[in-house]
Amino acid sequence: MKRAHTPPPSARTAKAPARPVRKSRPAAAARPVIDIDANRRLLNNYRFVEHEGLRLLAGWLPRAATFELKCEMGRTLWEYSQHVNALYLRLREIQSPAFQPPSDPALVRVMRELVHAPDEFGFLLALFREINPSLIRALESHEKATFPNSDQPSVHVISHALLDLRGQMARVEPLLRTAERTGKITAAARQWQRYIARLLAAAGGVSGREKRIAAPAAAPAVRREFKVPREAARDDRFTNLLADQVAMPNEELYDAHTIEEFERYSTEMLAAETVAFILYSVEGMPWEFQYDSARHLYDEVRHCLMGYEWMRAHQMDPFKSPQYVHIYKWRSQFPPVMQYCMLTMGNEEHAFPYRHRRVEAHQQAGDKLSEQFVRYDIADETQHVRFGRRWLPELLKHAGEKRSLADYSTAVLKVWADEYRTGKLTLNVE
């Protein structure tokens, strides 16, 4: 038998020639184009546009007459607040302070000018056909161009904001097209839209990264200096605007009382418009106040729609309901803090005994729909009273009020009881 060949020691210890080590390089095309410094600037731009947008929507909401657009403005405003809050939480992780003025004055100019539209359609065309689309383009680009892992918290915020923004466009665009078909879009509104479009293009879009053009030298003649409205607008489908509130049927008359109960829910746009007045008028309060107020406002829009839903389910036309628009006019003559006190500590806090009686009445009647509506209303109003208790002290400080919270509230609620509850409203608004 032959033995296996064993190499000599010199052969066993010999090493193979070393191979050169190559350093790997990431492909240039795979590198994101948004670094952390650009990320801060862009996120702050988005935050600024939506933050300003929610305030401007609040200012315009009472003045907008078209009911469906008014409701969409309330929802958009609230959705903007969700995005701003998410951006706030992200921005405070990568910059301090979290909220900073945009570095580009051209973008600031866009949002400062937007509010001075000649009418509601000029404002909404500029917002939903110019600014929102630019914001969507910026977010879509950002979502793909930032670092997918390191910046995943930003991607999460962006993807959720895009869902809402696209939904807004899908809901509002048909309403704008209807306004076009019915001749409600004026030449002045179109001119305003073009003006805002040019301002936005001069800023390079919301992102500042689009191709820029020269800014308009001056605003068009259709520009109207905006003032917070002292009267609430309604479209021509509403035929009973100035009715006085009358005593409701006795609660023992279940059917008659329930009809009046939900007719009154259908008028709660008045409460949304009051919160809108406050939200637009009060500047310098913490972001959390604006966030809570946006929710408060949208809750009141939903309560109004709840009344519409109930009435339509019972073959009633909600547009025939009395609107009591003089109540908004009455409230708007008072300082915002006083309006807030009357609404939260007056209307809302004092309603709970009645609301709980109504839940019991609906349960006894086997009226599940009415019961559920009122229970959701109670949940919302409970939160609104919490808002009032949290923010009234801050609003008093902000307004320079020297009286204690207790003394101030007592004085305000006396006015509320003497005038609102009796229906003897003193109107001093020109």
d(CA 168, CA 119): 20
Mean pLDDT of 288-311: 98
pLDDT of residue 25: 54
312 in the same domain as 168: no
In angstroms, the Cα distances linking 309 to 225, 284, 319, 425 are 37, 37, 12, 30
261 in the same domain as 189: no
* Inside any domain, residue 53: yes
Number of domains in the chain: 2
186 in the same domain as 275: no
320 in the same domain as 176: no
CATH code, domain with 320 = 1.20.1260
pLDDT band at 430 (very low <50, low <70, confident <90, very high): very low
263 in the same domain as 411: yes
* Inside any domain, residue 219: no
Q: Is the pTM of this model over 0.95?
A: no
For the segment 20-51, what is each residue's pLDDT rounded down to a tens digit? 555 555 544 456 689 999 999 999 999 999 99
* Inside any domain, residue 137: yes
d(CA 340, CA 230): 16
d(CA 374, CA 306): 10
* Inside any domain, residue 207: no
380 in the same domain as 303: yes
For the segment 70-103, what is each residue's pLDDT rounded down to a tens digit? 999 999 999 999 999 999 999 999 999 999 999 9
pLDDT of residue 358: 98
Of 184, 202, 220, which one is at a domain's C-terminal end? Answer: 202
pLDDT band at 11 (very low <50, low <70, confident <90, very high): very low
Three-class secondary structure assignment of the chain: CCCCCCCCHHHHHCCCCCCCCCCCCCCHHHCCCCCHHHHHHHHHHHHHHHHHHHHHHHHHHHHCCCHHHHHHHHHHHHHHHHHHHHHHHHHHHHCCCCCCCCCCHHHHHHHHHHCCCCCHHHHHHHHHHHHHHHHHHHHHHHHHHCCCCCCHHHHHHHHHHHHHHHHHHHHHHHHHHHHHHCCCCCHHHHHHHHHHHHHHHHCCCCCCCCCCCCCCCCCCCCCCCCCCCCCCCCCCCCCCCCCCCCCCCCCCCHHHHHHHHHHHHCCCHHHHHHHHHHHHHCCCCCHHHHHHHHHHHHHHHHHHHHHHHHHHHCCCCHHHCCCCHHHHHHHHCCCHHHHHHHHHHHHHHHHHHHHHHHHHHHHHHCCHHHHHHHHHHHHHHHHHHHHHHHHHHHHHHHHCCCCCHHHHHHHHHHHHHHHHCCCCCCCCCC
49 in the same domain as 186: yes
Mean pLDDT of 335-344: 98
* Inside any domain, residue 217: no
pLDDT at 390 over 70: yes
pLDDT at 231 over 80: yes
pLDDT of residue 151: 95
pLDDT of residue 428: 66
- Please state, rounded to an integer, the average pLDDT across all residues of the chain: 93
165 in the same domain as 40: yes
147 in the same domain as 268: no
* Inside any domain, residue 233: no
271 in the same domain as 164: no
pLDDT of residue 427: 74
Q: What percent of the chain has pLDDT over 90?
A: 87
pLDDT at 293 over 70: yes
pLDDT of residue 2: 45
- Residue 100 sits in which domain range? 32-202
407 in the same domain as 259: yes
For the segment 109-155, what is each residue's pLDDT rounded down to a tens digit? 999 999 999 999 999 999 999 999 999 999 999 999 999 999 999 99
pLDDT at 13 over 60: no
Name which of 16-20, 59-63, 173-177, 192-196 the model is least confident about: 16-20
Q: What percent of the chain has pLDDT over 70?
A: 92
* Inside any domain, residue 229: no
CATH code, domain with 85 = 1.20.1260.10
For the segment 235-256, what is each residue's pLDDT rounded down to a tens digit? 999 988 877 777 899 999 999 9
103 in the same domain as 183: yes
pLDDT of residue 20: 56
